[in-house]
Amino acid sequence: MDDQELIERLIKRELKFHELTRYVDASKAAELRRRALEAVTGHELREVGVFSFDADRAEKANIENLIGAAQVPMGVAGPVDVKGSYAEGAYYIPLATTEGALVASVNRGCTAINRSGGAVSSVMHDGMARAPVLRARNTAHARDALEFIDNNRTRLKEIAESTSRHLIMDDIQSWIIGCNIFLRMVYRTGDAMGMNMATIATDAVVKFLESELGLEHVALSGNVCVDKKPSALNLILGRGKTVISEVVLSREVVTGVLKTTPERMAELVYRKCWIGSALAASYGFNAQFANIIAAIFIATGQDAAHVVEGSQGFTTAELTEDGDLLFAVTLPSLQLGTVGGGTGLATQKEALQLMGVHGSGDPPGTNAMKFAEIVGAAVLAGEISLIGALGARDLAEAHQRLNR
């Protein structure tokens, strides 16, 4: 069939969008889908069709029914000086966003950090979780099954780790609710964000438990993972990388760069981030974690929905004996990777390369750790800048000045 015949069949719904690749390659299929949509809707999709990534690669790994791309402006902040176990040096931060003033804000925070000696970032915990729910015949059966699981952790670990040479099972957390068993299985997944790896490993364990114990597999994810939803569990136990980044802001930097005082910033964190968040029953005791995480995730090909968990966390600020300001961010649930998913797409790959973290680290896992420490410092910069702007009462002025 020629192009026009394929388009007509799409319009008549005689051919489904996903079936196009039986006849043409991915790039041509995207073009024909656009042309069919233009004919049906009467609206041109010229800009949607402008992109540089490999269409075949994208359709195999990232997208179905490809028609093009949604372009998001990308800016750069920094560099920011980071002192971590994996990240050591000055790093530029790619930020893809449509929110005016965000890059400028993070950039100002980087300046404050650099003039205060740099950010100290640490990954405190690393563990991707997947939590199936299984049904027992009754509570006695559930109790006996859990006893078996506790006594056979080594065997379950062997089964899980047989699914990938990059995966290590670290823990199985368990709860019984009536006759329902929830098993939160926690893994280290190298440089990958690891959700797919954790899912495959957990599936193998569940199949074993079904055959051994007569449990019924209800769902491979029982919502205790907790994936892409706000939760106290992830806030407390963490999921992905748990990162802390801190800096001692000198009084001179606070007054000179941020145009406020350490006392004013500490009070703002207390009243805004803590009392205000408590009043709202928010799990985000911070000013704008999600802003920075979303912009970095979009720029680097992360799963953007994990901004939900990344937005949960704590900003703290306290005066030192010398009158300076110890400012820190704690991100309990930062899910990211430097291989897999969208990290192999052209522009996302370049953004990761800009920070020196694309691909697998040597040894494996070190690039993702390095990336997490850089993201922690970037979030720290964003928090410092916004709290500083609120302290100086120039937030609205900054947006007006930048024509936002």
The C-alpha atoms of residue 383 and residue 105 are separated, in whole angstroms, by 9
CB 76 within 8 A of CB 95: yes
Active site residue 399: yes
Catalytic residue among 54, 88, 99, 170: 99
Evaluate the omega torsion of the peptide bond into residue 132 and state whether it is cis, within 30 degrees of 0.
no
Q: Quick check: is 306 catalytic?
A: no
- For 58-79, give one letter per residue: b (16+ CB within 10 A) or e: bbeeebeebbbbeeeebbebbe
Q: What tokens were used for 268?
A: 């703002």
Q: Which H or E run contains 244?
A: strand 240-249
Phi, psi of 127 (to 5 degrees): -170, 115
The verdict on whether 99 is a catalytic residue reads: yes
Q: Which of 267, 303, 350, 394 is catalytic?
A: 303
User: CB neighbours of 327 closer than 8 A, spacing ≥ 6?
Assistant: 246, 247, 248, 249, 265, 315, 316, 317, 380, 383, 384
**Number of Cβ within a 10 Å radius of residue 10:** 21
Residue 179 CA, distance from chain mean position? 34
**DSSP-assigned letter for residue 226:** -
| Helix (H/G/I), strand (E/B), else coil: 90 | strand
Catalytic residues: 99, 303, 399
